[in-house]
Amino acid sequence: MTRLMWIVVAASLAAAGCGALGGGDRGAGGAVAAKPMLHCPMHPEVVSDKPGDCPICQMRLVPIPAADKAGVAAPGAGAASVLEVGVDRARLAGVRTVEAATGVVTRTIRATGTVVADETRVRQVTTKVAGFVEKLYVNAMGQMVRAGEPLFELYSPELLASQEEYLRARQSAAEFQKSTLPEVRRGGTDLAVAARKRLERFDVPAEFLRALDESGAEQRTITFVAPFAGYVTGKNIVAGQRIEPGMDLLTVTDLSQVWVIAQVFEAEAQAAQPGRWARVTLPYQEGVALSGRIAFVYPTLDPESRTLKVRLEFPNPRGALKPGMFVTAELGAESARGVVVPDSAILDTGTRRLVFVEVSPGQFAARDVSVALRADGQAVVRSGLAAGDRVAQSANFLLDSESRLRDAAISAVHKHQDK
């Protein structure tokens, strides 16, 4: 039913529920009744003391109650507004009531998330010397490598010269040890140590230096190995390519733990707190849920989507979460205790939140309430309602429309009488 139809029904109920006071008719005590007042059901500001049609919509004017009989206080009287709908008419209009009770409502925040790699588990492989890639062991993106596995062999004239320098310095140190002068022996040792440190500063693998010490002969190429286990997510070299110091050669990413970046709406951002539990469900595996936690809440809000980014951390030992995948994230739980009513019992007018309390059969009073939490069709009322009160949970809009019509009608009557 549209708002227009509800207003018409409300106006009809108002007209049927209160008889107009006949002009000149005498009551039981012989007193003359007040002169009847009429108004337009669609335009309650149109008031007249004579029968006729509305000048705006040509609708027939209907009687309106006096302020005391309508249950609506005159402007400035400060009394509560009570709607006398009647038991039978309330039932026909579909008004159903429910008793407010004390309870707890829990809300779980659900958001869409995107799986991304853990930035702390990404490593770029590079070198500090120039050279040529003699052999490439990693030939494709996505290839799995283990810690210590060879990635490529590099021929570097600079490293080859440094090896020769180190070996000669080591031989000289051995000869200087035969000297009787301490300064000579110490100088030979210092020379060998300096030559070895130069190789170490080139980030030469420890295994290579150990083999160099054991063999005593320089090696033409040096094999660079994977820093840890992971997948090759970046590859910028091919076999035979010349490389320069600092070039981004390979990227190895450990996906045993990943991040999920969830987008939380601004209205729910308060529930996203670091340390709270989180759970994600996979779009291609129903019934599978992974548990993690909220690790970080980003400090800025997206001005276009009005969402806040939240970072979740999840272990990923079997690789079920893959970077780029969309998942559904559940972020913790927010609970509130208080007077619980169905969410449909609360009427949001834009500036107020109202409930209609049944003060007696067929009579309802509007109350302003403050809502603490709404979730799963239930609402926790912080103030304005007590446990045991019976509130209307359906046809609230009809009650609100009738209340507005009566308020407008009484206001118009007082304005008409003041003229």
Which tens digits make up the pLDDT trace of 146-167?
998 999 999 999 989 988 888 8
Segment holding 164, helix H or strand E = helix 157-176
- Average pLDDT, whole number, for the chain? 78
Q: Is the dihedral of CA 393, 398, 404, 410 positive or negative?
A: negative
Question: For residue range 261-319, what is the model confidence (pLDDT) as tens digits?
Answer: 999 988 888 778 888 888 888 877 777 788 888 999 999 999 998 999 999 998 888 88
* 56 and 133 fall within a common domain: no
* 242 and 262 fall within a common domain: no
Note the pLDDT of residue 241: 93
Q: Is 100 part of any domain? A: no
Interhelix angle 182-201/206-215, nearest 10 degrees:
140
* 157 and 259 fall within a common domain: no
0.85 surpassed by pTM: no
Residues across the chain: 419
What ranges in 18-97 are assigned the alpha helix state H? 67-70, 87-92
Domain that holds residue 290: 109-118+255-335
Burial of 388 (0-12, 13-18, 19+ CB in 10 A): exposed
CATH of the domain at 145: 2.40.50.100
Q: pLDDT category, 24, cuts 50, 70, 90? A: very low
Asked whether the predicted pLDDT for residue 398 surpasses 90, the reply is no
Segment holding 210, helix H or strand E = helix 206-215
**Separation of alpha carbons 315 and 26, rounded Å:** 86
* 213 and 310 fall within a common domain: no
**Separation of alpha carbons 394 and 405, rounded Å:** 19
Note the pLDDT of residue 69: 39
Question: For residue range 34-63, what is the model confidence (pLDDT) as tens digits?
Answer: 566 787 877 777 778 788 888 888 888 888
Structure tokens at 416: 């008409």
* 233 and 134 fall within a common domain: yes
Among residues 199, 224, 252, the one where a domain terminates is 252
* 138 and 166 fall within a common domain: yes
Give me the number of domains the chain comprises: 3
Question: For residue range 191-209, what is the model confidence (pLDDT) as tens digits?
Answer: 888 888 888 888 888 888 8
356: Cβ–Cβ under 8 A, 6 or more apart, which residues?
83, 345, 347, 364, 365, 366, 367, 391, 392, 396, 399, 400
Structure tokens at 118: 């853990």
* 136 and 181 fall within a common domain: yes
Q: Is 140 part of any domain? A: yes
Structure tokens at 60: 């027939």
